[in-house]
Amino acid sequence: MTVQQQLRKDGFVIVDNLYTTEEVNNIIQQIENTDTGKTNFRKSADLFAIRQFLKEVPQVAELIFTQKVKNLLTGIMGQHYFVVKSIYFDKPGSSNWYVAYHQDLTISVDKKKELQGFINWTQKHNQFAVQPPVQILENITTIRIHLDDTDENNGALKVIPGSHLKKIYRPETIDWSVEQEVDCPVKQGGIMFMKPLTLHSSGRSTNHKKRRVIHIELSSQELPGNLLWSEKEPVLFLQDQV
């Protein structure tokens, strides 16, 4: 089964060894060299995060989107796709942070505008978020780039395979007599490809090892009604031809 076929069937797929140790270290170095005093940087005892990651650390884009990664994304999304959200997470080994089952139901946009099917508007850090029609969410593919080995002992994702095919699937309605939970360990230098509608959760860390992950969402679909993706990144560094 191809990466594209498994992603379509299960809502996720793991591909290891997409980056060498040297490539991972180069990405980490670029992050560590960045000024962390800006408003898009969140620092606490449990989490260090960078919102709008590719805008804050633009030099890392060419290190992330290698030819191997571009080839996989083209197979999944076709020739024309672009970044619509990017976040960096550094979950320290001492963190006891748990995330319950959920779907990623919101997108980041440039303004608030009343449009049919766009609901649950919020505004945070000078950015608007909204739940769009499900067809827009279905077009998005998320890549989670792992800069550390991640397993069930330090917060690897757990997912419910095939849950993305059920559209909006409220966690409180999960029928555990039917559904199956799967752990998603990913080695350093691997990527987990995932659909936003796939139900997923993240457990607490018990082995005191770090979990650094770059979360990037991509789409090939423009928004209606002059609404714009607030974090849309040009595709020039993504594809050789546009």
Please work out, in degrees rounded to the nearest 5, the angle formed at the alpha carbon of residue 113 by the alpha carbons of 135 and 168.
30
* Host domain of residue 66: 3-219
pLDDT digits (tens, 9 = 90+) for 8-31: 999 999 999 999 999 999 999 999
């180069």: which residue's tokens? 26
pLDDT digits (tens, 9 = 90+) for 77-87: 998 899 999 99
CA–CA separation, 163 vs 216, rounded Å? Answer: 20
In-domain check, residue 212:
yes
In-domain check, residue 161:
yes
pLDDT digits (tens, 9 = 90+) for 79-119: 889 999 999 988 765 556 678 999 999 999 999 999 999 99
Report residue 89 as tokens: 């997470």
In-domain check, residue 234:
no
In-domain check, residue 237:
no
CA–CA separation, 93 vs 80, rounded Å? Answer: 38
Report residue 140 as tokens: 């998005």
Report residue 198 as tokens: 């796939």
In sequence order, the 6+-apart residues with CB closer than 8 A to the CB of 222 are none
DSSP element (H, E) containing 108: strand 107-109
In sequence order, the 6+-apart residues with CB closer than 8 A to the CB of 81 are 73, 141, 218, 219, 220, 235, 238, 239
pTM: 0.92
CATH for 127: 2.60.120.620
In-domain check, residue 233:
no
Q: How many domains does the chain have?
A: 1
